[in-house]
Amino acid sequence: MATLKPFKAVRPKKELAPDLCELPYDVLSSAEAREAAAGHPLSFFHVSKPEIDLPEGTDPYSDEVYAKGAENFQKLLSEGALYQDETACYYLYRQIMGDHSQTGIVAAASCQEYLDEIIKKHEFTRPDKENDRVRHIESLNAQTGPVFLTYRSNDVLNRIFEEQSSKEACVDITAPDGVRHTAWTICDEQVIHQIESSFEAISTLYIADGHHRSAAAGRIYESRKGAGSSGGFLTVVFPHDQMQILAYNRAVKDLNGRRPEEILSTLEGLGTLAESDTPVDPECKNELGVYMGNRWYRFQFNKEVADKGNAVEQLDVSLLQNHVLSPLLAIEDPRKSTRISFVGGIRGVGELEKLVDSGTYAIAFSMHPTRIEDLMQISDEGGIMPPKSTWFEPKLRDGMFTHLI
C-alpha cells in the first residue's frame, strides 16, 4: 500500500513562476547558480543555493548559508511572491521536452513507508549530503526540492490524470532550456479520494531521483517524532512507462600506464569491436561506444559475458566497471576515484570527444541508458545500483511546490 496525501502547497504567483522556478539545487555548481541568479531577485536559487548571496568562497555548509536560505525564503513569502494554499490539494505536473511528455502527481509521500521500504531505493547515500539536506529543511522548516518517484503504470490513475489535465492550468511556463512545465490544482474532494484510494492499491513506489532528500526527510520525521507535517515528504510521482532515462557516460583521465592496443585487445576478448567513422551513441543494451586517440569504436559484449550474474551485475554500467574500468584502468571505486568523470547523456556524445581531444582525458565510453524496468527489479530485490547509473530528464523545477513541515 502506497500512501500519498494531498497537502497545502506553497507556490509562486502564476505570473511570477517564470522568474522564480529554477533547476534542482544539485544540478548546478555554486558559481553557475550565482551567474544564473544575477539580476533575478526572485530566483529560487537564493533559497536552494543561498551561498550565492554571500561572499565567494563561503563554505556552502556553514551556518550562515542555511540562515540566509531561511531569510530569503521568508522574504519571498512575506512579499507575496510565494503563497500557501488554504486547503490540502493534489497537483498534476506535466513536463514536455521535445517529443517526450510525462504527467505525474505532486503529493506528500510517507516517511514511515520510506523507512519501511515500501518506497524502495536503489542507491547508497553519502552522510555529508544527507546532513546538508537535513540542515536545509530544518532551517526553512520546509522541503523545497521534490523527490522524484515512480510506480508501475495504472490505467485508473492514467484516466484521472487525463481528465484533470484537460482543465485550466495553474502554472504553464517554458524554461530557458525549452522544457515546458504545466501544473493543475486538484481540490475536488471526490477526485482526491479516487487518487488516494488508487495509490493505496499500489504496493510499491520507487525512488528515481532524490535519495538524499528522502533520507533527510526520514531523519527529520524520526527526530520530530512525526510532529506537524514532518511525516510526509514532497514528491512528484510519475508512471514508469512515461519516465525518460538518458545515458550516464564515463571519461577516464589516463590509461593506467597501458597502451591503447592493450585496451582494444581486451575488449575484443569480451565481445565484438569495430572502428566507427561516426560518433557512437549506443542503440541497444550491452553496446558501448569507445573514444580514444581521435577514433570511435562500437563495442558489443558477448552474450556469455553480459548474461552472467544477478540483475545488478548485468547492467551495462556494471559490465563496463567490472570488465574494463576496474581490471584495466584501476578505477576500483568510482565513487571515490578522481580519475573518472561522469557525463550526463543530455550533453551528447560530442562532449566526450571534447574531453578526450582536449588532452584532459585519455578515453571515454558512451553508454546505452539503463531501463526503468531494471531499476525497479533491482529495487525489488533490495539491490544497489552502481553510482551514476541513471540520468533522468527532464528535471523537475524547484520552487514550483514547497511542503511546509
Cβ contact 206:379 at 8 Å: yes
Instruction: Return the amino acid letter for 180.
Output: R
d(CA 367, CA 163): 38
d(CA 185, CA 293): 54
- Would you state the pLDDT for residue 1? 82
Cβ contact 297:274 at 8 Å: yes
Beta strands in 88-204, from DSSP E residues, in sequence order = 90-97, 100-110, 119-120, 142-143, 147-151, 171-174, 180-186
- Would you state the pLDDT for residue 40? 97
What's the whole-model pTM score? 0.92
Helix (H, G, I), strand (E, B) or coil at 83: strand
- Would you state the pLDDT for residue 267? 97
CB burial class (10 A; 0-12, 13-18, 19+) of residue 105? buried
In the chain the domains, ranked by start, together with CATH numbers, are 4-245+393-399 (no CATH), 248-368 (3.30.1760)
Instruction: Return the amino acid letter for 321.
Output: Q
Cβ contact 119:207 at 8 Å: yes
Instruction: Return the amino acid letter for 61.
Output: Y
Percent of residues in the chain assigned helix, strand, coil, to nearest 5: 35, 25, 40
Look up residue 75 and give its DSSP letter: H
- Would you state the pLDDT for residue 281? 96
Tens-binned pLDDT, residue by residue, of the chain (405 aa): 899 999 999 999 999 999 999 999 998 899 999 999 999 999 999 999 999 999 999 999 999 999 999 999 999 999 999 999 999 999 999 999 999 999 999 999 999 999 999 999 999 998 999 999 999 999 999 999 999 999 999 999 999 999 999 999 999 999 999 999 999 999 999 999 999 999 999 999 999 999 999 999 999 999 999 999 999 999 999 999 999 999 999 999 999 999 999 999 999 999 999 999 999 999 999 999 999 999 999 999 999 999 999 999 999 999 999 999 999 999 999 988 999 999 998 999 999 999 999 999 999 999 999 999 999 999 999 999 998 999 999 999 999 999 999
d(CA 37, CA 52): 8
Residues forming beta bridges with residue 97, ordered by sequence position: 100
Over the Cα atoms of the chain, what is R_g?
22
- The residue behind cell 490505467 is 155
Would you tell me the crossing angle of helices 189-200 and 155-164 to the nearest 10 degrees? Answer: 160
C-alpha distances (whole Å) from 359 to each of 188, 252, 253 are 59, 11, 8
Would you tell me the crossing angle of helices 211-224 and 127-140 to the nearest 10 degrees? Answer: 60
